[in-house]
Amino acid sequence: MQPVIHLAISEQIIGWYDQLGPWLFYGAVWALVFAGTGLFIGAFIPFITGDSLVFAAGLVAAGAAGTPGGPQVNIWVMAVGVGIAAWLGDQVGYTLGRHYGRPYLDKRKGEWLRGAIARSEKFYAAWGWWAVVIARFMPWARVIVPAIAGIARMNYYKFFSANAVGAIAWGTGLTTAGYFAASIPAVKNASYGIAIFFILASLIAGLRTWLKNRKAA
């Protein structure tokens, strides 16, 4: 991959691509996106399952495309797969909330996490269908709102449609943003700063969550 891409994304994600190759790289990114909301781990490590991951996946695809004869990551396969994985993860979160009810969230420990749940409940009560769409773009809400919608017995088809809109817009939008930011000459230099911003913001949010939960434990 081009050295310039190495400057824009984490060494960990670069390592995945170099070691796994394109097909397993697809699977690793999609699995982490799914697990972020489907398995609730995005509440604790958003920097590995959220915005920085999918933006970086787009940058990786652009870097691979700039390496003639090397293994390729198709940006549209990656972007659509991210959208589907995000949608499936939210569907699982909704189903768990609907099946297990309030205890599914009550068992979550940590002062910060409980505060995030309370904020998400208010957000959902105020916005309903749109809360599901908008939450996909909010690291603290995307993990919690699907479960809250399930607990609140939101109509399945309404959740299905809202989830599809939010997941596809977030997944395809952010992944292709990373790709085009790195592949369009006019904005290539700016893309490095954008990628670093996304990664650092997610890292800070994740560390902040971990530290607050540790103190509250």
Confidence band, pLDDT 50/70/90 cuts, at residue 7: very low
CA distance 199 to 111: 25
Pick 55 or 94 by higher pLDDT: 94
Instruction: Say if CB 60 and CB 19 are below 8 A apart.
Output: no
User: Domain range spanning residue 76?
Assistant: 3-216
CA distance 130 to 199: 27
With a pLDDT cut of 70, the percent of the chain lying above it is 64
79-90 pLDDT, tens digit per residue, is 999 999 999 999
Q: Does the structure show a pLDDT above 80 at 33? A: yes
Q: Does the structure show a pLDDT above 60 at 66? A: no
Count of CB atoms within 10 A of residue 193's CB?
11
> In the predicted model, what is the mean pLDDT of the chain?
75
141-178 pLDDT, tens digit per residue, is 888 889 889 988 999 999 999 999 999 989 888 888 87
- Identify the pLDDT of residue 208: 61
- Identify the pLDDT of residue 86: 93
Q: Locate 116 and state its tokens.
A: 């995030």
Q: Locate 135 and state its tokens.
A: 């939450």
**Largest interatomic CA distance in the chain:** 53
Which region holds residue 119: left if phi is over 0, alpha if psi is between -120 and 50, else beta? alpha
- Identify the pLDDT of residue 6: 36
- Residue 12's identity, in one-letter code, is Q
Q: Does the structure show a pLDDT above 50 at 3? A: no
- Report the number of distinct structural domains present in the chain: 1
Q: Locate 28 and state its tokens.
A: 């690793």
Nearest 5 degrees, angle CA 92-CA 96-CA 97? 115
